[in-house]
A = this chain, B = another copy of it.
Amino acid sequence: MMELDEQKIIQSWRINAGSWTHAVREERIESRKLVTNQAIVDTVMRYHPATILDIGCGEGWLARKLTERGAQVVGVDVVPALIERARQLGGGDFQVCSYEELAAGRLRRQFDAIVCNFSLLGNESVTNLFAAIPSLLHDGGHLFVQTVHPHIACGDAPYADGWRPGSWTGFGPEFSDPAPWHFRTVASWVRLFCTSGLTLIELLEPLHPETNKPASIVFVGEKPEVESFFETV
């Protein structure tokens, strides 16, 4: 049985799918436009993956960008209204698929790269997904996770993992029903990589040019080649 807070996340995206699509396509999210969109595209493409799985692809902008750069991209999202909008613009193979279905092996194929761009918002759903990531990657393949920077997102609250109330502040009046999200420390993110059998090979903190503080954090994990992989699990 899925935790209530996990259900609320999905429910919120179902309700806000249309507003979100407009916000992304009109480039209304300043930090994405200024920093984090370019950061994730550049980081992924530096590794030259031929095949990419975009988990939590939303309306599909990142899949389209990566397709433009020559990759073959599958985008998955649990919200049908977002996948519908992604398919309207094309530039990727878009499928409705939950993190639970991914973890259960529904895709039956492996990729050179997996990218999760601000799409890991829950607790158990994320832990379970990480456990399944190696089965979705070729040996030597890479997982790219971009998320809010824990030290910026923490605010005045204790610096510890846990559910936090959500907010659409700054997104406009057309957004409603914000969902809670699960805060993770940097230490906790690193632990997710290491315990899933991935080697953390990069950690990036793209700077916001106006604040000179990190606009996000990007983790790059590598699935070891077979021999050493079995040593670590």
Residues of A in contact with B (beta carbons under 8 Å apart) = 151, 154, 157-160, 185-187, 190-191, 194, 199-205, 207, 212-214, 224-225, 227-228, 231
- Complexed CA–CA distance, A190 and B212 (Å): 20
Residues of B within 8 A of A199 (CB): 199
The 8 Å CB contact of A200, one of B159, B160, B190, is B190
- Complexed CA–CA distance, A190 and B185 (Å): 16
The 4 closest A-B pairs by CB, nearest first: A158-B212, A151-B151, A190-B203, A228-B228
**Apart from A157-B212, A158-B207, A160-B212: 18 A-B pairs, beta carbons within 8 A:** A151-B151, A154-B213, A159-B207, A159-B212, A159-B213, A160-B207, A185-B205, A186-B186, A186-B205, A187-B203, A187-B205, A190-B202, A194-B201, A194-B202, A200-B200, A224-B228, A225-B228, A227-B228
How many copies of this chain?
A: 2
- Complexed CA–CA distance, A204 and B185 (Å): 9
Residues of B within 8 A of A228 (CB): 224-225, 227-228
- Complexed CA–CA distance, A204 and B159 (Å): 12
Least Cβ distance of A187 to chain B in Å? Answer: 5
- Complexed CA–CA distance, A158 and B212 (Å): 5
Least Cβ distance of A233 to chain B in Å? Answer: 13
